[in-house]
Amino acid sequence: MAKKTNYDSEFCGSLPLNHINVVQPYGYLVVLDKASFRILQVSENGTDLFQTDFHEVIGKELAQFCNTAQLRELQERFAVKFKEKIPLTLTISGRRLLALAHFKETYILLEIEKSDREGERTFTHVYEEVKYAMAAIESAETIIEVSQAAVHELRKITGFDGIMMYHFDEDWNGTVIAEEKEGNLENYLGHTFPASDVPKQARDLYLKNPYRLIPDQKYEPVRLYPVINPVTGAFIDLSDCNLRGVAAVHLEYLKNMNVSASMSIRVIHNNTLWGLIACHHLTPHYLNFELCSVCELISSVISNRISAILNKDLFEQENELQRQQTALIAQVYAEQELIAGLMPEEGISVLSTFAGSGAIVTYKGTYHTFGEVPDRDMIENLCLWLQSKELDRVFSTNQLPELFDEAIPYAAMASGLLAIPVDEDKGEFLAIFRPEVVQTINWGGDPTKTINFDPDGTKYHPRASFKIWKELVHHTADDWTAQELKTAENLRTFIYEFKTKQANYN
């Protein structure tokens, strides 16, 4: 096809995943009044937790079933200043259980683990395991090395059959950059999954929750009782709740992947979801809160290491562009001539600074070309097209043939364009071209069939196949980076100032 297609799904992204009002059965959910600690809501498996019919516990104080001193102490210490989930241990019906407390504005939400604390590992054991994983990740020097270390260490710790890590592009498609697996799981290294596989609504939830665990995709959902929260008068918001139920379409998606259990762990860069680590198991696979907490910690370590590498690369690129920008300006002043300074026969030029394959400059009625560029008629029409945009800043695109039809025959040499106005009123520009980079995208299944509706339109399903679906993308060049665009803006300002000085001098 000619250009990239955005496969994000507004339909999937609009589903209210946080108000699903059911939980997974590997734990209990209890909602308390913040002031009195009375039980407002409970998951319907609460009968097993309290050894009393779940209907009967509503309105009773939690203190009737366990010692709430630790919970009250945590509320006093953290409720105002701390927004994260806080762990504590409760003994209910003779069982010592780990709970996670969420302190909300008008209520407290407790996620209580089903399994008791007998046989739990020592702090030293867990610490050694985590420190070894952290050391392996922090010693990695590249994004790929970090990713490979991450999936390897997490697989050792969690025991999942397969783990892969993928990075989101600017359109939220995720490409697998590291993978480790065994058994009958498919290989997805190098495959790209369309944005609709993790729609906006789900991506937003990963900013609130470091991980998402589904121990058994065949689970029976457990409802909350009563359905409406009596304090808020609405469905309870389960955005940051680990036990939150799973949308049916995602469960079907896992089934189609031949996966019984899954866990997704976020990777954050600059407060944005940079990628996900997807863990899969062929049979049901449960991780206790302790192991999930370890995964949460390692998620932070991975995110920090990736951010450090990306920030270092960014710093080096900015420094190099700053050096070249300074050299270009010095050359212009040395020559006292714009063209000769920006496009010298030897040394730094705008062509090398912006990694272009060709450039043209129209200035003072003259026309200059450098490298490989389209013919004169196309360039003149391009300048008229740019002039019609009444640009007051740099213009850039990595898909020029999709915006300007006359560029289609020249896509091989001019799929990317960076245009710096020299005198926009006269239609004079410095234009730098980048060549076409033909891409073959190995999609994990046909991205055009991510959501399929039944004939009556009442139900929808995810795609059934994840076999490679190849897409050939033409008319696209390498992206212009934010740092390159900033440097181009600086040059635009300099060109204006230089021209003004020359005009005043003359």
Q: How far, in Å, CA of 268 to CA of 291, rounded?
A: 20
The predicted structure's pLDDT at residue 454: 57
Q: How far, in Å, CA of 73 to CA of 88, rounded?
A: 11
DSSP designation for 38? B
For domain 27-96, is the CATH number 3.30.450.20?
Answer: yes
Question: H-helix or E-strand containing 385?
Answer: helix 376-388
Q: How far, in Å, CA of 343 to CA of 321, rounded?
A: 16
DSSP per-residue codes, 299-334: HHHHHHHHHHHHHHHHHHHHHHHHHHHHHHHHHHHH
Domains 10-17+121-225+236-311 and 27-96 share a fold: yes
pLDDT band (50, 70, 90) for residue 11 = very low
- pLDDT tens, residue by residue, 249-284: 899 999 999 999 999 999 999 999 999 999 999 999
DSSP-derived 3-state class of residue 433: strand
The predicted structure's pLDDT at residue 444: 84
The predicted structure's pLDDT at residue 453: 59
- pLDDT tens, residue by residue, 439-492: 888 888 777 776 665 565 556 567 667 777 888 889 999 999 999 999 999 999
Using an 8 Å Cβ cutoff, are 471 and 449 in contact? no
Which is more confident, 455 or 428? 428
pLDDT band (50, 70, 90) for residue 125 = confident
Which range is least confidently modeled, 9-13, 117-121, 356-360, 495-499? 9-13
Is residue 15 classed exposed, middle or buried when 0-12, 13-18 and 19+ CB atoms within 10 A define those classes? middle
Which is more confident, 124 or 94? 94
Mean pLDDT, range 345-355, rounded to an integer: 91
| 408 CB neighbour count, 10 Å cutoff | 15
Using an 8 Å Cβ cutoff, are 413 and 379 in contact? no
Which of 3.30.70.920, 3.40.50.720, 3.30.70.980, 3.30.450.40 would CATH assign to domain 10-17+121-225+236-311? 3.30.450.40
Buried b (16+ CB within 10 A) or exposed e, 241-259: bbbbbbbebbbbbbeebeb
Q: How far, in Å, CA of 81 to CA of 153, rounded?
A: 33
The predicted structure's pLDDT at residue 443: 85
The predicted structure's pLDDT at residue 459: 60
DSSP per-residue codes, 208-231: T-SEEEES-TTPPPEEEESSSBTT
The predicted structure's pLDDT at residue 123: 59
Q: In the chain, what are the domain boundaries? A: 10-17+121-225+236-311, 27-96, 336-438+474-505
List CB contacts of 156: < 8 A, sequence separation 6 or more. 133
- State the pTM of this model: 0.87
Q: How far, in Å, CA of 307 to CA of 362, rounded?
A: 41
List CB contacts of 124: < 8 A, sequence separation 6 or more. none
* Cis amide linkage into residue 226, ω under 30° from 0: yes
The predicted structure's pLDDT at residue 75: 86
- pLDDT tens, residue by residue, 386-419: 999 988 899 999 999 999 999 999 999 999 999 9
Q: How far, in Å, CA of 465 to CA of 294, rounded?
A: 33
Q: Which CATH code fits 336-438+474-505?
A: 3.30.450.270
- Whether the per-residue pLDDT at 209 is higher than 50: the answer is yes
Q: How far, in Å, CA of 406 to CA of 420, rounded?
A: 20
Using an 8 Å Cβ cutoff, are 252 and 466 in contact? no
Q: How far, in Å, CA of 356 to CA of 439, rounded?
A: 19
- pLDDT tens, residue by residue, 52-83: 999 999 999 999 999 999 998 888 887 666 66
DSSP-derived 3-state class of residue 131: helix
Q: How far, in Å, CA of 361 to CA of 464, rounded?
A: 53
Sheet holding 416-423, edge to edge: 366-371, 358-363, 428-434, 416-423, 395-397
Mean pLDDT, range 124-130, rounded to an integer: 78
